[in-house]
A and B are shown apart, each in its own frame.
Chain A
Amino acid sequence: MAESALTRPGQRERYDSKLTQINWVFVGLLVALTGIGILILYSVGGMNWQPWAYKQLITFAACLILMLGLSLLDLRGWLWLAYPVYGISLLLLVAVAVHGSVSHGARRWLDIGPIQIQPSEFMKLAIVLALARFYHDRDAKDANFSLWLMIPLAMIGAPVLLVLKQPDLGTAVLIALTGLTVMILAGLNWRVIAAGAVAIIPAGWVAFKFLMHDYQRKRILTFLNPEGDPSGDGYHILQSKIGIGSGGLLGKGLGLGSQSQLNFLPEKHTDFIMAAVCEELGFIGGFAVLFLYGAIILMALRMAAVSHSHFGKLAAAGATATFALYVLINGAMVMGVFPVVGVPMPLVSFGGSAMLMVMTGFGLVLGVRVHRYQELPKKDSFFSRLFE
């Protein structure tokens, strides 16, 4: 395929040949994973397509088409969009802070006519694009350790602070970790990484003491001592562990999980859906889902690595990093080894906007693979002139 593409100039730009460059095995894994999720949504909905499974199926179908469409988008398009998308996302976050609508005690949503949007979701991808765009123009020395690094730090810091303000600790941590992952992948000096890792402990203590909201502090205390709060979050963690543990090797069977069917599991269709998977499908099912996640993440990283452009590599790897962080944090939370933060299990948990962002990210990853031979020139942006 690649040979013929090289032999005929212009061949790569044709959409039919681009379609053949899409990693269909990867798409198949995504379908399989989401399929398991829909199965479980069908089960926890009381063996009914309503209220969740059907919606999830439709959303996924739409997102799948969107992802395939995005994968055909020229990388120059992504490059061109990177800063504007970040800028708009940041503005929306500011707008939320100014007059977002409040629900469950947090100001996270922006009402635009009939629909509500959550700009912090966009930011998860926008930060990746913006950082990739930034590092694309910088050489290895700049990325390693230089004054230039003030810019990505600021790019990460601004949305993180805005999201923390909402307050939404989970998303803020996710944005921060995603951004840091891109910085590390871009070549951040190991000594800086090590220093940062050491600094996390006092920084965390300061954050815990002075910056966190009461409910956030409580969640962390509860995580450290789940028995101290048997009715609130401690209860949720315990019920989740009971759900998982009682599934045993083979599970209780679809629709037969007492913990999920009788509502002992909190948020059984969203954040705690892994507990329902493990309860009804057992260790076999839980392992299969984790294995699929592992395969998807490693394949996505591989796709990032084959790109010829630095932007493509970083953007695809950054999008994968977001996904991987979702999986690890949610998995650890459901199994009681991480505090309860509002992070869904991507693709499996019910929810449209998370699905949209994940699939957009994978559209980027697939696009990077499709356009892997594309060379992108280093361009001067206003950041370059700033330091001349």
Chain B
Amino acid sequence: MAEPSIVFTDVNERQGAFHRRAFIMGGVVAFGLFALTGRLASLQIVQGSKYQKLSAANQFNFRLIAPPRGNILDRNGKLIAGNRPSFRVMIEANEVKNIDETLDQLSYILPQTLISRRRILRDINQNQRSVPTIVAQDLSWDDFSRVSLYANDIPGVVADMDWMRAYYYGGAFSHVVGYVSKISDKDMARELAQPDADADLLHHPSFRIGKQGIEKAYDKDLRGVKGGRKVEVDSRGHVVREDPAGSIAPKPGKEIVLTLDADIQQRAIDVFGTESGAAVMMNVHTGEVLCMTSSPGFDPNLFVSGIPSDTYKLLHDYEKNPLLDKALTATFPPGSTFKTMVALAALENGYDPNITHTCNGVFPFGNHVFKCDQHHGTINLHQAIVTSCDVYFYQCALSMGGPDPVARVATKFGLGQIFDIGIDGQKAGLVPTLDWKKKYFEKRNPANMRWWPGETPSFGIGQGYTNVNALQNCVMVSRMANGKKAINPILVKSIDGVDQVSKVVPEDLPFNPEHIAFVHAAMADVVNSGTAAATANLGLGPVKMAGKTGTAQSIGAGGGRTAHGAVGQWDRRDHAWFVAFAPADDPKYGIAVIVQHGGFGAAAAAPKAREIMRTALLKDPDIQKRIVGVNILDAPPPMGDATSTDPDTAAGDATTPAAPPTT
């Protein structure tokens, strides 16, 4: 107040305290800054490399590039399954604030997304946040350009081009080549459990997994290896820059070349028309399968982008069962085609082919009367094959005492076996033996464990327990045509340019060549003058076909025939078989055709086999030479001087040495 303003002791005390404390404060601040410097050094210098890695992980990102799936080609390089461009629209859920709003905006541009809205929302919820969801694909160019124009204005909507699996032959290869589809939860779990699983690729929206046939069996080969697009992203995941130098190109899937011939395959599915069945054709020397088709087929392209459930239901419920592979999975009684086996077995057991039996349409045995189609009169073994007389073969089979001698031969010819052709779905079928019957009925019905003599006659005509699939019957007739080697079917010619050589060396067929020749001759006469004379004549001059018809009861042996031949309710009609090889004198191709509920083999199956065989023979340059005298490919263009290479005379020349042998 009125005191002097400065009291020195007080001021000095205050000043002293302040100076000491200001000094301490300076020290505290200096220490604090020193500590921060130490922390800075620790972060930047000691742990620098760790944080540099983390920083790079933030900055750079690899966007997966799906590898193109490997092509599947036929033996001549024709593309069966490839990849085609597909314009699509995707939503990146990460970028979208209000999904409903985005879909509303999108539906102005693409009205069709309104219909699939529920599916889109479900997919968005199911997908990982970082995985874009496909809204629409296979857009027309107009739609695509419209979306591309507006996509920038709708956050999270991306329009781009993708590769989609394409099957260029529709239903012709639907079973053997199979198809791909979106990966199911079950497949995903199985695939992820594998040690070399690539989860990124499996989760990629473009990824498809092979579901049947070659696509399934060689899925790993066809998949390829993912690539990566190195991009710089900001904190929200937006791509800021691309770094092409750091990107890794995807490795395309391996190319698979099949032994199949697309022309033959296409012809086969064509000749089946609306009928149900299968055709398998092989080269009798190499075992290469040239044709393996099942009718009706289905369009495998339907499955690639997800088949609508009602479409699938239609396929599934159709009585001709397009989803079933009738070449491998369906087995049928071989019917009279089995007589070739019975005849060869009889000859190998010392049966005299000149023994005659008289057929007047019935054969009473025990308390049962076995029937025959016609009254064949008194005939020998050759005639019995040519006319397919059941009465003769009832007795021929009985002469061997039971099924085992025939079964031994049939097994050597590939019946009842599963072949290593690379793809799944083969059913083994059955050639019954005494042992089999004992084992089979031991548990089920011990009273029926023994082979009853009354079972032998129907066994002799390819009925009863015997069941084969079309591939087996094709192998059977091809081995018969070959005569020396038990050739094995192969389906895959090469993978990625590497020839697939079968590890299995074909066994020798331990049969007397004369007996084989006997069966050959009889089969040739089946086509010349026998059951298939009217329907299986190739019409290719000297090149003839040798074959055997079969008409198999579709209802079990004991069930009786309710719709014989091609009459009556479709699913109770007989199955029509035709097995054949050509040329008859120098076999090259073997074929088996089954027409499910087709009726008579000669009427339903033989004409189809004829057509398919003609296609194969006409494509073969060596056979062409025999038919027209010169290789069409070598022939000069047909001009004014065409008289000098008159095809008639050329064919006539070739006829003489090529006359079929007769027995």
Contacts and interface: CB of A to CB of B under 8 A. Distances in A.
B639 interface: no
B41 A305 contact: no
Contacts of A328: 29, 32-33, 36
A219 interface: no
Q: Is the interface of A mostly helix, strand, loop or mixed?
A: helix
A258 interface: yes
A140 B17 CA distance: 8
B11 interface: yes
Interface stretch (A11-19, A30-38, A73-81, A283-291): A283-291
B58 interface: yes
Interface in B1-22: 1, 5-7, 10-11, 13-15, 17-19, 21-22
Contacts of A310: 11, 14-15, 18
A245 B44 CA distance: 4
Contact of B236 (A181, A263, A335): A263
A340 interface: no
Nearest to B7: A139
Interface in A357-381: 375, 377-378, 380
A242 B33 contact: no
A248 B45 contact: yes
A244 B233 CA distance: 19
A350 interface: no
Given A243-B55, A247-B44, A331-B36, A185 B18 contact: yes
B54 interface: yes
Contacts of B25: 181, 184-185, 301, 317, 321, 324
B233 A262 contact: yes
Contact of B52 (A246, A262, A287, A331): A246
Contact of A337 (B26, B39, B232): B39
Interface stretch (A146-154, A160-168, A201-209, A292-300): A292-300
Interface string A218-250: 000000000000000000000101111111110
B14 A187 contact: yes
A71 B58 CA distance: 47
A264 B33 CA distance: 26
B63 interface: no
B40 A287 contact: yes
A317 B29 CA distance: 12
Nearest to B44: A283
A186 B22 CA distance: 9
Contact of B44 (A181, A282, A380): A282
B33 A140 contact: no
B55 A187 contact: no
Contacts of B233: 262
A317 B22 contact: yes
B33 to A, nearest CB: 5
Interface in A22-49: none
A241 B1 CA distance: 57
A287 B45 CA distance: 12
Q: Which of A258, A263, A293, A324: most chain B CB closer than 10 A?
A: A258
Given A263-B234, A278-B40, A298 B30 contact: yes
B36 A242 contact: no
8 contacts: A187-B18, A245-B55, A278-B43, A283-B44, A286-B40, A290-B37, A324-B29, A328-B33
Interface of A: 139-140, 143, 181, 184-187, 239, 241-249, 258-259, 262-264, 278, 282-283, 286-287, 290-291, 293-294, 297-298, 301, 304-305, 310, 313-314, 317, 321, 324, 327-328, 331-332, 335, 337, 375, 377-378, 380, 384
Counting from the closest, the 4 A-B pairs by CB-CB distance are: A245-B51, A246-B55, A377-B5, A187-B17
Given A317-B22, A335-B43, 6 more contacts: A187-B18, A245-B54, A249-B44, A263-B235, A287-B37, A304-B22
